[in-house]
Amino acid sequence: MRTTTRWLILGCTAALSACGAGADEIAEDEPGGVTGALEGDNALSANALSLNALSLNALSLNALSLNALSAESLHALQDAGPTGSLARELMKYLVSCALDGGQRLVFSWRDAGGAPHDEMYPGRLGLAPHWGSEPLGRSSQGMVSACLAARTNFYETPVTISMRSSRGPLKTTLWSSELHEYPQVEGAFWGNLFAEEPSLHACYHTLNVGNSRAQKRDCAAGHQGADGQIVECGPIKIVGPCALACQTLTLGRYYPACLERPGRSMAFTRDVITTALP
Protein backbone atom coordinates (compact mmCIF):
# COMPACT_ATOMS: atom_id res chain seq x y z
CA MET A 1 0.00 0.00 0.00
CA ARG A 2 1.37 3.44 -0.88
CA THR A 3 2.24 5.52 2.17
CA THR A 4 1.20 9.15 2.07
CA THR A 5 1.84 11.85 4.60
CA ARG A 6 -0.15 14.15 6.80
CA TRP A 7 1.33 17.65 7.15
CA LEU A 8 -0.91 20.21 8.75
CA ILE A 9 -0.77 23.35 10.81
CA LEU A 10 -3.65 23.35 13.28
CA GLY A 11 -5.06 26.55 14.66
CA CYS A 12 -4.12 28.62 11.60
CA THR A 13 -6.49 30.73 9.57
CA ALA A 14 -5.62 28.87 6.37
CA ALA A 15 -4.70 25.40 5.18
CA LEU A 16 -1.06 24.51 4.74
CA SER A 17 -1.31 25.06 0.99
CA ALA A 18 -1.18 28.78 1.77
CA CYS A 19 1.99 28.50 3.86
CA GLY A 20 4.53 28.70 1.06
CA ALA A 21 5.73 27.67 -2.36
CA GLY A 22 5.29 24.01 -3.16
CA ALA A 23 2.85 23.29 -0.35
CA ASP A 24 0.13 22.20 -2.77
CA GLU A 25 2.26 19.16 -3.61
CA ILE A 26 1.79 17.70 -0.13
CA ALA A 27 -0.63 14.81 0.23
CA GLU A 28 -2.76 13.74 3.17
CA ASP A 29 -2.71 10.37 4.88
CA GLU A 30 -4.88 8.21 7.08
CA PRO A 31 -5.96 9.70 10.43
CA GLY A 32 -3.60 8.97 13.32
CA GLY A 33 -2.64 9.96 16.84
CA VAL A 34 -0.43 12.89 17.64
CA THR A 35 2.75 12.65 19.72
CA GLY A 36 6.12 14.29 20.12
CA ALA A 37 5.48 17.71 21.67
CA LEU A 38 8.67 19.67 22.39
CA GLU A 39 9.87 18.23 25.68
CA GLY A 40 9.72 20.65 28.56
CA ASP A 41 8.62 23.67 26.52
CA ASN A 42 4.97 23.17 27.40
CA ALA A 43 5.86 23.81 31.03
CA LEU A 44 6.65 27.43 30.22
CA SER A 45 4.08 30.14 29.75
CA ALA A 46 3.80 31.73 26.31
CA ASN A 47 6.02 34.68 27.09
CA ALA A 48 9.72 35.44 26.76
CA LEU A 49 10.94 32.55 28.93
CA SER A 50 12.19 29.62 26.90
CA LEU A 51 14.16 26.40 27.22
CA ASN A 52 17.28 26.20 25.07
CA ALA A 53 18.87 22.94 23.96
CA LEU A 54 18.96 23.13 20.16
CA SER A 55 22.08 21.32 18.98
CA LEU A 56 24.79 22.89 16.83
CA ASN A 57 24.33 20.27 14.12
CA ALA A 58 20.59 20.93 13.83
CA LEU A 59 21.16 24.69 13.65
CA SER A 60 23.65 24.12 10.81
CA LEU A 61 20.99 22.57 8.56
CA ASN A 62 19.64 24.68 5.71
CA ALA A 63 16.60 26.33 7.31
CA LEU A 64 15.59 27.96 4.03
CA SER A 65 14.00 24.79 2.67
CA LEU A 66 11.98 24.45 5.86
CA ASN A 67 10.72 28.03 5.65
CA ALA A 68 8.33 27.25 2.82
CA LEU A 69 6.99 24.04 4.39
CA SER A 70 7.28 22.51 0.94
CA ALA A 71 7.26 18.91 -0.24
CA GLU A 72 11.07 19.07 -0.24
CA SER A 73 11.20 20.10 3.42
CA LEU A 74 8.65 17.46 4.29
CA HIS A 75 10.89 14.85 2.69
CA ALA A 76 13.74 16.01 4.94
CA LEU A 77 11.55 15.67 8.03
CA GLN A 78 10.54 12.15 6.97
CA ASP A 79 14.12 10.95 6.60
CA ALA A 80 14.56 7.92 8.88
CA GLY A 81 18.29 8.60 9.31
CA PRO A 82 20.35 11.11 11.29
CA THR A 83 19.55 13.97 8.89
CA GLY A 84 15.84 13.47 9.51
CA SER A 85 16.40 13.54 13.28
CA LEU A 86 18.22 16.86 12.98
CA ALA A 87 15.57 18.28 10.65
CA ARG A 88 12.82 17.36 13.10
CA GLU A 89 14.77 18.87 15.98
CA LEU A 90 15.20 22.10 14.03
CA MET A 91 11.53 22.18 13.03
CA LYS A 92 10.42 21.79 16.66
CA TYR A 93 12.30 24.96 17.52
CA LEU A 94 11.22 26.78 14.36
CA VAL A 95 7.58 26.13 15.20
CA SER A 96 8.07 26.97 18.87
CA CYS A 97 9.69 30.29 17.95
CA ALA A 98 7.36 31.32 15.12
CA LEU A 99 3.88 30.13 16.08
CA ASP A 100 1.84 31.02 19.15
CA GLY A 101 0.31 28.81 21.83
CA GLY A 102 -2.88 28.24 19.82
CA GLN A 103 -1.05 26.79 16.82
CA ARG A 104 0.80 23.54 16.22
CA LEU A 105 2.39 21.65 13.37
CA VAL A 106 1.29 18.05 12.76
CA PHE A 107 2.91 15.55 10.40
CA SER A 108 3.87 11.86 10.27
CA TRP A 109 6.82 9.77 9.11
CA ARG A 110 8.09 6.17 9.19
CA ASP A 111 11.35 4.94 10.66
CA ALA A 112 13.76 2.48 9.03
CA GLY A 113 11.72 -0.42 10.37
CA GLY A 114 8.50 0.94 8.85
CA ALA A 115 6.96 1.94 12.18
CA PRO A 116 4.82 5.09 11.92
CA HIS A 117 5.46 8.18 14.02
CA ASP A 118 2.93 11.00 14.39
CA GLU A 119 4.48 14.31 15.43
CA MET A 120 2.90 17.38 16.99
CA TYR A 121 5.05 20.48 17.51
CA PRO A 122 3.33 23.24 19.51
CA GLY A 123 3.81 26.94 18.92
CA ARG A 124 5.02 28.95 21.88
CA LEU A 125 6.63 32.38 21.46
CA GLY A 126 4.52 33.72 18.58
CA LEU A 127 7.21 35.70 16.76
CA ALA A 128 5.57 35.02 13.38
CA PRO A 129 2.12 33.44 13.87
CA HIS A 130 1.18 34.39 10.29
CA TRP A 131 3.55 31.64 9.14
CA GLY A 132 0.43 29.46 9.15
CA SER A 133 -0.99 31.39 6.20
CA GLU A 134 1.95 32.94 4.36
CA PRO A 135 5.75 32.70 4.03
CA LEU A 136 7.95 34.56 6.50
CA GLY A 137 8.83 38.15 5.58
CA ARG A 138 12.32 39.52 6.09
CA SER A 139 11.77 40.85 9.61
CA SER A 140 10.03 37.64 10.70
CA GLN A 141 12.88 35.63 9.21
CA GLY A 142 15.29 37.70 11.27
CA MET A 143 13.37 37.28 14.52
CA VAL A 144 12.89 33.54 14.06
CA SER A 145 16.57 33.16 13.15
CA ALA A 146 17.59 35.12 16.25
CA CYS A 147 15.30 32.92 18.34
CA LEU A 148 16.94 29.76 16.99
CA ALA A 149 20.42 31.14 17.68
CA ALA A 150 19.46 32.25 21.20
CA ARG A 151 18.12 28.78 21.99
CA THR A 152 21.17 26.90 20.74
CA ASN A 153 23.24 25.23 23.45
CA PHE A 154 26.82 24.04 22.97
CA TYR A 155 26.26 21.22 25.46
CA GLU A 156 22.67 20.46 24.36
CA THR A 157 21.72 21.16 27.98
CA PRO A 158 18.24 22.61 28.66
CA VAL A 159 18.56 25.97 30.42
CA THR A 160 15.70 28.41 30.94
CA ILE A 161 16.58 31.81 29.52
CA SER A 162 14.87 35.17 29.28
CA MET A 163 14.52 36.35 25.68
CA ARG A 164 13.95 40.08 25.12
CA SER A 165 13.62 42.38 22.15
CA SER A 166 12.43 45.78 21.01
CA ARG A 167 9.85 43.84 19.00
CA GLY A 168 6.76 42.19 20.47
CA PRO A 169 5.93 39.83 22.00
CA LEU A 170 9.38 39.77 23.63
CA LYS A 171 9.46 43.43 24.65
CA THR A 172 10.03 43.87 28.37
CA THR A 173 9.31 46.89 30.54
CA LEU A 174 10.97 48.32 33.62
CA TRP A 175 8.25 46.74 35.77
CA SER A 176 8.54 43.23 34.34
CA SER A 177 9.16 40.57 37.02
CA GLU A 178 11.31 38.81 34.45
CA LEU A 179 13.95 41.54 34.80
CA HIS A 180 14.33 40.75 38.49
CA GLU A 181 14.28 36.97 38.11
CA TYR A 182 16.71 37.01 35.15
CA PRO A 183 18.92 40.04 35.80
CA GLN A 184 22.18 38.88 34.19
CA VAL A 185 22.18 39.94 30.53
CA GLU A 186 24.16 37.38 28.57
CA GLY A 187 24.34 38.99 25.14
CA ALA A 188 22.42 39.27 21.89
CA PHE A 189 21.71 37.21 18.77
CA TRP A 190 20.63 38.23 15.26
CA GLY A 191 20.93 37.29 11.59
CA ASN A 192 18.93 35.55 8.87
CA LEU A 193 19.12 31.82 8.19
CA PHE A 194 16.65 32.17 5.31
CA ALA A 195 18.64 34.67 3.22
CA GLU A 196 20.54 33.72 0.07
CA GLU A 197 23.66 34.23 2.18
CA PRO A 198 22.61 32.82 5.60
CA SER A 199 24.23 34.42 8.63
CA LEU A 200 23.96 34.46 12.41
CA HIS A 201 25.76 36.79 14.81
CA ALA A 202 26.21 36.95 18.56
CA CYS A 203 27.78 39.35 21.01
CA TYR A 204 28.35 39.12 24.76
CA HIS A 205 27.88 41.31 27.82
CA THR A 206 31.48 41.40 29.04
CA LEU A 207 30.74 41.54 32.78
CA ASN A 208 28.49 38.45 32.71
CA VAL A 209 30.53 35.99 30.61
CA GLY A 210 31.55 34.04 33.71
CA ASN A 211 27.95 33.71 34.87
CA SER A 212 26.84 32.51 31.43
CA ARG A 213 29.52 29.85 31.21
CA ALA A 214 28.79 28.68 34.75
CA GLN A 215 25.18 28.06 33.64
CA LYS A 216 26.22 26.10 30.52
CA ARG A 217 25.56 28.99 28.15
CA ASP A 218 28.54 29.53 25.87
CA CYS A 219 27.19 30.61 22.49
CA ALA A 220 27.25 34.38 23.04
CA ALA A 221 30.93 34.47 24.06
CA GLY A 222 32.02 31.11 22.62
CA HIS A 223 33.02 27.83 24.21
CA GLN A 224 36.40 28.00 25.92
CA GLY A 225 38.37 24.86 25.07
CA ALA A 226 41.01 23.20 27.23
CA ASP A 227 43.72 24.88 25.13
CA GLY A 228 42.18 28.30 25.76
CA GLN A 229 40.90 28.63 22.20
CA ILE A 230 37.37 29.95 21.71
CA VAL A 231 35.04 27.68 19.72
CA GLU A 232 31.95 29.22 18.11
CA CYS A 233 28.56 27.50 18.20
CA GLY A 234 28.14 26.16 14.69
CA PRO A 235 27.24 28.97 12.25
CA ILE A 236 26.89 31.62 14.99
CA LYS A 237 29.70 34.14 14.46
CA ILE A 238 30.83 35.96 17.59
CA VAL A 239 31.45 39.64 16.89
CA GLY A 240 32.80 40.60 20.33
CA PRO A 241 31.33 42.70 23.16
CA CYS A 242 27.79 43.95 22.59
CA ALA A 243 28.93 47.41 23.65
CA LEU A 244 30.79 47.64 20.33
CA ALA A 245 28.18 46.01 18.09
CA CYS A 246 24.85 47.15 19.51
CA GLN A 247 23.03 50.19 20.79
CA THR A 248 23.02 50.76 24.55
CA LEU A 249 20.90 48.52 26.77
CA THR A 250 17.46 49.97 27.46
CA LEU A 251 15.74 50.10 30.84
CA GLY A 252 13.98 46.93 29.72
CA ARG A 253 17.44 45.35 29.64
CA TYR A 254 17.61 44.54 25.94
CA TYR A 255 19.74 45.81 23.07
CA PRO A 256 17.35 47.75 20.80
CA ALA A 257 19.46 47.23 17.64
CA CYS A 258 22.79 45.77 16.50
CA LEU A 259 24.98 46.08 13.42
CA GLU A 260 23.23 44.02 10.77
CA ARG A 261 26.44 42.90 9.09
CA PRO A 262 29.35 43.60 11.44
CA GLY A 263 32.52 44.52 9.58
CA ARG A 264 30.64 44.96 6.30
CA SER A 265 28.07 47.67 6.96
CA MET A 266 27.21 50.31 9.55
CA ALA A 267 23.45 49.70 9.13
CA PHE A 268 21.55 48.51 12.21
CA THR A 269 18.82 45.91 12.54
CA ARG A 270 16.14 45.76 15.21
CA ASP A 271 15.53 42.05 14.60
CA VAL A 272 17.63 41.22 17.63
CA ILE A 273 17.00 39.02 20.66
CA THR A 274 18.79 39.73 23.93
CA THR A 275 19.17 36.85 26.39
CA ALA A 276 19.46 36.97 30.16
CA LEU A 277 20.01 34.45 32.97
CA PRO A 278 19.41 34.34 36.73
Sequence-distant (6+) residues with CB within 8 A of 168 are none
Predicted confidence band at 263 (pLDDT cuts at 50, 70, 90)?
A: confident
Question: pTM above the 0.75 mark?
Answer: yes
The secondary structure of residue 54, as a DSSP letter, is B
Domain ranges of the chain: 7-47+55-132, 140-277
Query: Does residue 260 contact residue 199 with C-beta atoms inside 8 Å?
Result: no
pLDDT (average), residues 240-263: 94
Query: Does residue 224 contact residue 155 with C-beta atoms inside 8 Å?
Result: no
The C-alpha atoms of residue 102 and residue 151 are separated, in whole angstroms, by: 21
Query: Does residue 171 contact residue 165 with C-beta atoms inside 8 Å?
Result: yes
> 3-class SS at 253?
coil
The C-alpha atoms of residue 159 and residue 266 are separated, in whole angstroms, by: 33
- Three-state secondary structure string covering 3-20: CCCCEEEECCCCCHHHCC
The secondary structure of residue 21, as a DSSP letter, is T
Backbone angles phi, psi at 133, to 5 degrees: -130, -5
Is the pLDDT score of 13 beyond 50? no
User: Average pLDDT of the chain?
Assistant: 80
The C-alpha atoms of residue 114 and residue 107 are separated, in whole angstroms, by: 16
pLDDT at 70: 60
**Segment 32-84, tens digit of pLDDT:** 222 223 333 333 433 467 777 888 888 887 665 666 556 566 778 888 998 88
Query: Does residue 74 contact residue 108 with C-beta atoms inside 8 Å?
Result: no
